[in-house]
Amino acid sequence: MRSLIGSIACWLLGSAACSSPFSATGQPDAGQDAAGSGGMEDDAASSGGAGNDSGTEAGGPSPCTPAPVDTSSCDSASCAPTPLFTGQSRPGAIGADGSALYWITKTGSNYTLMKAPKEGGCPSPLAVDVVTGGIVRDLLVDDEAVYIGSTQLARSVVRVDKASGTTTAIVDANVCRSASPGVLALNAMFLFFACADNGGLIGKWDKTTPGALPMPLHDPAESLSFGGLAADSSTVYFNLDMGSLEAVPAAGGAPSTVSIADAFARIALFGSAVYGLSATQVLRIPIGGGTLDPMITSIQAPIDLRADTGGVFVIARGTGDGAGMLLGASADRLGQRTLATKLGRPAGLTTDLAYVYLTDELAGTVLRATK
């Protein structure tokens, strides 16, 4: 309880004693020398194959991104995903915007944020040593920044400016006083995060107001099964260890129960439904109530899921290294689909309108699959 009171006091008062010890620091731009990168500049330089030169003639193809493969007629694992970037050091969480991909690499205990154009370009570090220690659990992208959630208490949530690479610790040990789960959610105004303090609480940060401090949003008085956070313009969704899916107004207020269902490892929100990933399946849970719909079943060792207009997508590690899979299910096709098999160790997942992007930690690759 003392940690909870201390956390709330720091959020509300913003006193000097509660200020973050991490000031905003400039990181190397994509084209600059990544000094102190722990060998990551060599990784970046060799991405896409040894000897590749990032410079190409105007209008010419990039040596780092293969030509698109026509998989419009494919509907099975016979259509392997396209390797976009190779030679990455233990790539993990990944996100995307309209033109670029962003992903985490790891060397030793240090994480670097990489960036590369989706079509025609080579990867380079956007922020070096953005997190040191802990485990990176989440990576989300908006118009201006990349947000990284980790279990590293001193840098539980880090904001990286997309234009400059400048990093700022949004949530640190003065906010989350005990180990952070490193899970995040975004809407247009707020970044939402979770703390393990007092059995679990949810906080928010106004990303539209310069100098804003993180604030408490909701203490469920129960343990969160960290991994379950999603948000839209009005509501934050989360799930509890007991298996129930809960909702709380983004502006604050009383929580409500959406559904008593499976114990979810991750959740995703799209449209009028929350998708819950359990140990063996993905359930579609209507926000307004109704029948739960199994979208993907018989999953082995699932890692993450995403939901969008194209459907719901899951990466899983199967029986072990080399048995990873990418699975999908969409509203306009009956049943689930296997989009890729024999992946080394899938680690990160994101989507855009046409493609699913994933990372393979074991192979050191960033891949793209057609929906």
Residue 370 counted as domain residue? yes
- CB atoms near residue 362 (< 10 Å): 16
Based on the domain organization, do 276 and 175 belong to the same domain? no
Based on the domain organization, do 300 and 199 belong to the same domain? no
Cα-based distances in Å from 316 to 95, 113, 208, 343: 18, 23, 35, 9
Task: Tell me the C-alpha distance between 340 and 360, whole Å.
Answer: 12
Among residues 253, 284, 314, the one where a domain terminates is 253
Based on the domain organization, do 98 and 213 belong to the same domain? yes
CA 27 to chain centre: 21
Q: What is the pLDDT of residue 364?
A: 97
Among residues 253, 277, 294, the one where a domain terminates is 253
Q: What is the pLDDT of residue 65?
A: 58
Residue 18 counted as domain residue? no
Based on the domain organization, do 157 and 216 belong to the same domain? yes
- CB atoms near residue 316 (< 10 Å): 23
Give the 3-state secondary structure of residue 5: helix
The CATH number covering residue 292 comes to 2.120.10.30
Based on the domain organization, do 111 and 240 belong to the same domain? yes
Task: Tell me the C-alpha distance between 253 and 234, whole Å.
Answer: 11
Segment (H or E) for 226: strand 224-231
- Report yes or no: 78 and 339 within 8 Å, Cβ to Cβ: no
Based on the domain organization, do 205 and 333 belong to the same domain? no
Within a 13 Å sphere around the CA of 339, how many CA atoms are in the beta-carbon half? 26
Residue 73 counted as domain residue? no
Based on the domain organization, do 368 and 273 belong to the same domain? yes
Q: What is the pLDDT of residue 45?
A: 30
Residue 61 counted as domain residue? no
Cα-based distances in Å from 244 to 209, 258, 289, 320: 33, 8, 13, 30
Q: What is the pLDDT of residue 335?
A: 84
35 Ramachandran zone, left/alpha/beta (phi>0; psi -120 to 50): beta
Tens of pLDDT along the chain (371 residues)? 334 334 444 443 333 333 332 223 333 333 332 222 232 233 333 233 323 333 333 333 445 655 455 545 455 545 689 999 999 999 999 999 999 999 999 999 999 999 999 987 899 999 999 999 999 999 999 999 999 999 888 889 999 999 999 999 999 888 887 767 788 999 999 999 988 766 678 999 999 999 999 999 998 777 666 678 999 999 999 987 667 788 999 999 999 999 887 888 889 999 999 999 999 999 999 998 888 999 999 999 999 999 999 999 999 999 999 999 999 998 666 689 999 999 999 999 999 999 999 999 999 999 999 98
Based on the domain organization, do 145 and 176 belong to the same domain? yes
Q: Which is nearest to 224 in space by CA: 254, 253, 194? A: 194
Based on the domain organization, do 277 and 146 belong to the same domain? no
Residue 94 counted as domain residue? yes
In degrees and rounded to multiples of 5, residue 247 shows phi and psi of -135, 145
Based on the domain organization, do 183 and 286 belong to the same domain? no
Residue 96 counted as domain residue? yes
How many domains is the chain partitioned into structurally? Answer: 2
Residue 242 counted as domain residue? yes
Range of the domain at 331: 261-371
Q: What is the pLDDT of residue 224?
A: 66
Among residues 220, 253, 286, the one where a domain terminates is 253
Q: What is the pLDDT of residue 276?
A: 92
Q: What is the pLDDT of residue 27?
A: 34
Based on the domain organization, do 217 and 299 belong to the same domain? no
Residue 19 counted as domain residue? no
Q: What is the pLDDT of residue 146?
A: 98
Task: Tell me the C-alpha distance between 195 and 216, whole Å.
Answer: 10
Task: Tell me the C-alpha distance between 102 and 148, whole Å.
Answer: 11
Based on the domain organization, do 226 and 266 belong to the same domain? no
Q: What is the pLDDT of residue 68?
A: 53
